[in-house]
Structure 1
Amino acid sequence: MNTLNPASATAPAPTKETKPKRRAVLLAAVNRELDVAAPLFAPFAARWDAEADRRMKLRTPEHLKALMKAQAAHTSARSTAATAKSQRTAARAASRNPLSAARRAAATADKAARSSRSSARAALKEAKKSYPDTLTSVAVRAHAAHLVPAGVASWALSTPADWATWPASLSIAAVAVNSAALWLGRRSASAPVEDGLSAEERRLMQRLDPSYWVQHAEENGLERTLTERPEMTPAGIVCGVRLDGKGRSAKWLASETDAVRRLLGMKTETRMQITKGSHGDRALILIRTRSASDGLDLNGWKPGDAWAVDTVTGETVPVPLGKRILIAGTTGAGKSTSARPLLAEASEHPDHRLVIFDRKYVEGRTWEHRARVACELDDMRTVVRELIAEGEERLQVLPRGEDAVQISATRPRITVFVDEMAELLSDCAAKYRGADGKNADYLDVIAGLRTVARKYRAAEIILVPATQKPTLSGEGHGLDSQIAGQLTVRLALAVATSTETQSVFGPDAIEKGWKAHELPMPWVALMRDQEKGPNQRTNPIRMRWMTAQQVIDLPARPIWSRTAGVPAAQPEAERPALRLVKDEAAVTESAPAAEPVSNRDRVLAAVRDGARTNRDVVDRTGLNKGTVSKLVKALVESGELVKDESAGLLPAGGAEELSA
């Protein structure tokens, strides 16, 4: 009984629940003691690693070639020296005269052979210094050279006391002490304990350390490679790799991904990427154990929110309004929910309008309070015609020297979103029996969308198609080739195959790191902007997303439509020109609120408002001078305008019409 602590006499026996806790406490105490002891051995481990690194740097193919050449030369010199010595011995036996020609010739040859052997030995020694053995092999040979003879001598003795006194026991102890010192030193030097590191991350950083990599690279087929010190970033572990020798490149290392994963003992689900490093003989290993978007709430949207977050750098990606975008992603990748923040931004502002084509009805109905929605093919045909008419009108008033019209509340940017384009392509190509009894189709809708994509960027009519299958040909293809050629921004969530990745990003996509078919689901994507050039980061981005109810809860916004009376695009000569008349009853109800629908009407309106010269008309209408000159001339010839020498341009009827 413990008399100092009476309470211990009644303490309960350890249970199954308390034993694991005690083991955990004991393990934590041992780890703390090891952490305290590790810095004492860190210099020894650092010197060992520095020497090992120095030796590995010298073990280049060039030095190996020189060593093999020196070994061959030394072997040849030794053979020559042995032959010369044998011949000299034979010459001495054949003649007792030391001055005989045979003995003198043999002596000279022997002397030259021994000199050549000495030179070859010195060259071999220097070559061995240039291509040294690894430090591990040197240590193993040194201990073996001491242990084997000592062990044989100890075995010959008969008493246990003699075993303890002979060098074999001391050699074994030295091996154990050296191994323990290296293990403790590397505990601090190669894998520093950082707050927040998981056990998996700590283990990967230990194996990426140069000391571990060098020892195990050759057995995994990664010889002549050497890692740098790994670093932990917000996106995971980043480690540089030096590549020595012929045929070693970042592309080669990427092809050895399985060997790298095997060396590191990496979990199958852990994502890894191998890319080019800072120099031609460098590669970069990125292990995605983390994401810079972790902890961020990307559900929901409000005006000004970022569309996505870079999972590597943490940078935000704004909504690319005004750019023609392809959105691709297989079922379940989050294509529709990720597109909603873009559509919300495209319909939020006074100078923006949204048009949605949706053959599946579901997404279109969600946006009916903020967008003009067309689900039936006849409605799509009507909307396409209106878009073409709007685009033609805008291009005609585009001022000279400008690349795009200035958007405003009266001339807004129109974003045309096509949801699931594969379904639209299939339905438009299907034949049906027309009213005249002949076969017909809706391919004119696709032709109209091609025109919108090719021609009306300057008119600020922007096409954004979305598809589950972004292939350009074959059965069930989901993208029109002419439309695809005009899309400058490619956004791909997870797609089904590498073929679809190449359809989105180009034939060189896989080689350059655009691997959308390897992305996790949902809401993780790759985005490539053609305007930014070839040197873009292939970092995955985490997309913002919205539920259908969040879209329905958004406030209503104005819905775009063309002025009544212009159902389709027509040449200017065929368009009905609005004439200035005194009879107000002849003007439709919507005419006072609508802009003129032809350049002729704009010129007439400008003259009626006080423009007296061609220059005044140009300033008021925004038309270029050549167009104004032609229209003024035609209107004067038709009698709709009068050109007075003193007053300038006047409407038909002169001062009377002005006063009216």
Structure 2
Amino acid sequence: MSHASAWQIQRKYAATAARWSHERWRTESARRRTLRAERRPMVGDARRAVAQARAVDPQGVTSLVHRAERELATAKRRVPDPMWLFASKTALAIGAAGYVGLPLVPGRVWMWSAIAVTVAVAGTIVWALTHRPAKPEFEPTAEERDLLKRLQPEHWREHAELRGLAGTITGRPALTASGITVAVRLDGKWTPGKLADAEDNVRALLGCRTALRIEIQAGERGGWATITLRTRLAADGARMDWTPDAVGIGLDTVTGQPVDIPLDNRLTVAGASGSGKSWSSRPHMAKAHITGDLVFVDGKGEEATIWEEVCRTAVEPEEIRSTVAEVHAEMNRRKVDMKRRGLSVWDGPQLTLFVDEGRVILALKDKALTQQLIDISALGRSRGVVLKWATQYPVTSGDAPGIHAQIAANTDSRFALRVKNLTHAQVALDDDADYGPHLIPARKDMRGHGYLGGHGPHLIRTWRMTDDMVKALPAKRWHGTPDTTTAEAPSLRLVKSVPATAPDSAEERVLSIVTAAENPVRQKDLAEQTGLSKGTVSKVVKRLTDTGRVTRRPDGGLTADKAA
């Protein structure tokens, strides 16, 4: 092959490589122009900082001048050369090296070397463009840039002793979807617990705002701790409008994943006034309404106005008493039905009784009503009747408690929005009060944020469900049905059906059942048949036996004169 043919082939290859990298070249040039425009002002700032440091410390006694000069040098290095200057420097360096190292080689060798160098330079440029560092996933805010700078090991080491943190040193901080996190090495007698107790010292060293939440926990191995600054939430920017397909109550602001609560869990929701307690409960109520039956008892009445066209509601004291009594009777009816069919767990639709502002309900001082609510919380879950309780005053003692102690003890899941103080947090979350629901800022943007007991100290942002979304739910109002299943129960052996309309008083209800029975009736069967509590049935039977209207046989069975 002649030299001319080889030259043409090499030119062809070089032209192809140039065309292939042309677009990349233009992109890199634009990127360098943008970076120069952004970073050149920083060089000016660094120069002014050096001048100021030299004016303050002309003798160089402290490290101010040296640190300012290092920052100036770093700022200069971060400003890239223009693309033409970068290419010129590269070509000049290669040419100079070739000229100095090989001054007496033949011209043919120089020609082939020039071709090889051209191809190598083009390939290097393409490789650099395709393998440049990826753009950071999160762009820091001005506040985060300051905190990241102060968390650097150099800054921490210089100021830690002055802030009472000598013996600790940070690693390299990282910006995540839920804030800034950094590992801290603990020397000497330092432990993660002691570092957590020194949170005020850490806050002073970093100079962060008072409202910024700081979490200090044990690291992945001994001698290390982890500091997390919640400068942002993983749920930021997420669409929080509730839909029928939405999972659970909301999103974990640390992981961004949905947080679910089993629908058959007995739930308590606690939240101070203005924390978003009522509308944070709406997604859970809506799910219960769609999948089963929902009965809403509203002690205040405002929220019931939105739900009254959708489900069964009760606001006035007499409405509340009658509604809870119907739910209690339904719970007992299901027990008899389950016994007859040999079931241990109810297999039909779930009936959910949601009580909002339990403090108002307990303030009625109605012992029978309170006992029925306790019975539902203790016995209802296996029978498909689930009690959910909400209050802004999570206290179980005193003249006006927000929740009864026995109802609180029967709770499966606890959700707490912002509460008033640590005492409320201890009742609301029990052993998980250290999550800190009393520390949630009382800001408008923090409404609907809370902690779920057992989930971990991760704030949860609840789904947003507007009044119009509630009103758009299908209307379905539950009402108690006459108890007809017990007429077939072998244990009672009734020959007459119970009247379709239940008698008004407890005595009449008990007397009608005893009178209708062919054989003596056991007192415990009366509690199941009437839907009354065992204590109420005992009192009624005593009155009826004292007046002679009911006779108690030696074996304990109850009979009545049918002629009466």
TM-score interval, smaller chain: 0.5 to 0.7
Q: 1:229 aligns with which of 172, 176, 190?
A: 172
Distance (Å, rounded) in 2 between the aligned partners of 1:322 and 1:261: 43
Instruction: Report deviation, 1:282.
Output: 2.2
Letter of the structure 2 residue corresponding to residue 450 of structure 1: I
1:72 is matched with which residue? none
TM-score with structure 2 setting the length: 0.63
Q: Deviations over 1:312-363 (max 9, x none)?
A: 11011235311111101001100011111111111113xx000111122222
> Where in structure 2 are there 5+ consecutive unaligned residues?
1-34, 48-57, 79-133, 502-564
Instruction: Report deviation, 1:381.
Output: 2.5
2:345 is matched with which residue? 404
In structure 2, relative to structure 1, the CA distance for the partners of 1:482 and 1:314 (3 Å cut) is same
- Structure 1 residue 359 corresponds to structure 2 residue 299: yes
- Structure 1 residue 446 corresponds to structure 2 residue 383: no
In structure 2, relative to structure 1, the CA distance for the partners of 1:177 and 1:259 (3 Å cut) is closer
Distance (Å, rounded) in 2 between the aligned partners of 1:318 and 1:193: 34
Letter of the structure 2 residue corresponding to residue 297 of structure 1: R
1:91 is matched with which residue? none
Q: Does structure 1 conserve the Cα–Cα contact (< 8 Å) formed by 2:296 and 2:354?
A: yes
Letter of the structure 2 residue corresponding to residue 443 of structure 1: K
In structure 2, relative to structure 1, the CA distance for the partners of 1:508 and 1:562 (3 Å cut) is closer
Q: Does structure 1 conserve the Cα–Cα contact (< 8 Å) formed by 2:353 and 2:385?
A: yes
1:206 is matched with which residue? 149
Letter of the structure 1 residue corresponding to residue 413 of structure 2: V
Distance (Å, rounded) in 1 between the aligned partners of 2:160 and 2:265: 47
Instruction: Report deviation, 1:175.
Output: 9.2
Q: Does structure 1 conserve the Cα–Cα contact (< 8 Å) formed by 2:43 and 2:75?
A: no
Q: 2:470 aligns with which of 551, 556, 561?
A: 551
2:204 is matched with which residue? 262
Q: 2:273 aligns with which of 326, 331, 336?
A: 331
2:505 is matched with which residue? none
Q: Deviations over 1:596-646 (max 9, x none)?
A: xxxxxxxxxxxxxxxxxxxxxxxxxxxxxxxxxxxxxxxxxxxxxxxxxxx
SS of residue paired to 2:399:
coil
Percent pairwise identity: 32
Q: 2:244 aligns with which of 299, 302, 324?
A: 302
Q: Does structure 1 conserve the Cα–Cα contact (< 8 Å) formed by 2:46 and 2:71?
A: no
Distance (Å, rounded) in 1 between the aligned partners of 2:494 and 2:187: 76
Q: 2:327 aligns with which of 387, 398, 407?
A: 387
Letter of the structure 2 residue corresponding to residue 497 of structure 1: N
Q: Does structure 1 conserve the Cα–Cα contact (< 8 Å) formed by 2:46 and 2:68?
A: no
2:188 is matched with which residue? 245
In structure 2, relative to structure 1, the CA distance for the partners of 1:392 and 1:271 (3 Å cut) is same
2:31 is matched with which residue? none
Q: Does structure 1 conserve the Cα–Cα contact (< 8 Å) formed by 2:280 and 2:448?
A: yes
In structure 2, relative to structure 1, the CA distance for the partners of 1:175 and 1:551 (3 Å cut) is closer
Distance (Å, rounded) in 2 between the aligned partners of 1:329 and 1:344: 19
Letter of the structure 2 residue corresponding to residue 561 of structure 1: H
1:216 is matched with which residue? 159
Distance (Å, rounded) in 2 between the aligned partners of 1:341 and 1:420: 17
Distance (Å, rounded) in 1 between the aligned partners of 2:147 and 2:331: 57
- Structure 1 residue 506 corresponds to structure 2 residue 443: no
Q: Which moved more, 1:296-305 or 1:459-468?
A: 296-305
Instruction: Report deviation, 1:385.
Output: 2.7
Q: Deviations over 1:426-463 (max 9, x none)?
A: 1x21xxxxxxxxxxxx2211110000001111111111
- Structure 1 residue 540 corresponds to structure 2 residue 459: yes
Q: 1:522 aligns with which of 447, 452, 465?
A: 447
Q: 1:30 aligns with which of 24, 37, 40?
A: 40
Alignment of 1:100-499 (within 5 A): 180-181=69-70, 184-185=73-74, 194=136, 196-246=139-189, 248-349=190-291, 352-398=292-338, 404-407=345-348, 412-426=349-363, 428-429=364-365, 442-499=366-423
> Where in structure 1 are there 5+ consecutive unaligned residues?
1-24, 38-167, 430-441, 530-535, 581-585, 590-660
Instruction: Report deviation, 1:271.
Output: 1.9
Instruction: Report deviation, 1:403.
Output: 5.3
Instruction: Report deviation, 1:306.
Output: 4.3
Q: Deviations over 1:358-393 (max 9, x none)?
A: 122222232123322122333333233322232223
Distance (Å, rounded) in 1 between the aligned partners of 2:376 and 2:311: 18
Q: Does structure 2 conserve the Cα–Cα contact (< 8 Å) formed by 1:319 and 1:345?
A: no
2:545 is matched with which residue? none
Aligned alpha-carbon RMSD (Å)? 3.8
Report how many aligned residue pairs link the two structures. 396
In structure 2, relative to structure 1, the CA distance for the partners of 1:174 and 1:555 (3 Å cut) is closer
Larger radius of gyration: 1
Q: Does structure 2 conserve the Cα–Cα contact (< 8 Å) formed by 1:388 and 1:448?
A: yes
Q: Does structure 2 conserve the Cα–Cα contact (< 8 Å) formed by 1:34 and 1:184?
A: no
TM-score with structure 1 setting the length: 0.54
Distance (Å, rounded) in 1 between the aligned partners of 2:433 and 2:76: 41
Q: 2:478 aligns with which of 552, 555, 560?
A: 560
Instruction: Report deviation, 1:499.
Output: 1.0
Distance (Å, rounded) in 2 between the aligned partners of 1:186 and 1:391: 73
Distance (Å, rounded) in 2 between the aligned partners of 1:525 and 1:219: 36
Distance (Å, rounded) in 2 between the aligned partners of 1:320 and 1:398: 22
Instruction: Report deviation, 1:300.
Output: 4.1
Letter of the structure 2 residue corresponding to residue 527 of structure 1: L
Distance (Å, rounded) in 1 between the aligned partners of 2:245 and 2:197: 44
Q: Deviations over 1:83-115 (max 9, x none)?
A: xxxxxxxxxxxxxxxxxxxxxxxxxxxxxxxxx
Instruction: Report deviation, 1:239.
Output: 1.1
Distance (Å, rounded) in 2 between the aligned partners of 1:307 and 1:292: 16
Instruction: Report deviation, 1:404.
Output: 2.3
Distance (Å, rounded) in 1 between the aligned partners of 2:463 and 2:324: 30
SS of residue paired to 1:267:
coil
In structure 2, relative to structure 1, the CA distance for the partners of 1:479 and 1:348 (3 Å cut) is same
